[in-house]
Amino acid sequence: MHICIYEADRPSEALQPRFGTYAQMFQDWLGAALPEARFSLAHLAGGEAPPPPGSVDGVLITGARAGVPDGLDWVARLMDHLRDLRAARVAVAGICFGHQVMAQAWGGRVDRAACGWTIGRHLHAPTPDGQAVFGTMPLACVSVHQDQVIDPPPGVRVLLASDRSPHGAFRYDFPAMSVQFHPEFGGDYVEAVLESGLGLRFADDLVAGAREGLHERLDGAIVAEGFARFFRETIGRRG
């Protein structure tokens, strides 16, 4: 099983010696639940082109500091590519920015969230559809985003929801699944992001609230199992 990780961003150079790249985080996170997968990389934000549709079994899109509403050329090209992947029925998964760009490409609408930045550990409750994928208990994962899917794409099923992210995870009728939060992030990385600021100035009260609970239980492994089942089922069925 060959999965290409689309790097939509990389951590700051100051954080990479300690935490690695986002692609490395994804390989560690998903690889533990999907050991049969072989990973390759395409650094889209760095100018690399994605592989042609059908040349890999699946795609996994990382988070990014860039936003869908920013109107960047490489994001527009990615949305065109996502429509080609849908036509070719390639299995696509996305996290945070990946969740958003998939939704925008396939008929939804992404914009700045009215609630502003969502940062820190939050509980995401499974919907009836989501219980079949992630179980019945609320999932604790960390979020770092200011954009959200405002209008979901036609026909999508919502799998997870929270007070701040009502469209927390999607499953599509064609082979695609995504989540708004970051199951690959640990509390230490989010602490480092809050300290470095990602080049932004976060309000002191936002930072203080975001630090609460960062080192309590996180359920990224449960989310990884759900994505591993998605790839096994969709890639196996296509083959």
Report, as residue numbers or ranges, the catalytic residues: 96, 182, 184
Q: At a CB cut-off of 8 Å and minimum separation 6, what does 142 contact?
A: 119, 120, 121, 122, 181, 182, 185, 186, 187, 190, 214, 218
DSSP state of 222: H
Alpha carbons 141 and 123: distance in angstroms, whole number: 7
Residue 181 contacts residue 8 (beta carbons within 8 Å): no
In angstroms, the CA 68 to CA 182 distance is 17
Torsion angle of the four alpha carbons 97, 2, 20, 218, in this order, in degrees rounded to the nearest 10: 60
CB contact set of 67 (below 8 Å; sequence gap of 6+): 97, 100, 110, 112, 146, 147
Dist CA 220 CA 210 (whole Å): 18
Rounded distance, CA 44 to CA 206, Å? 30
State the distance between the two ends of the chain, measured CA to CA, in whole angstroms: 10
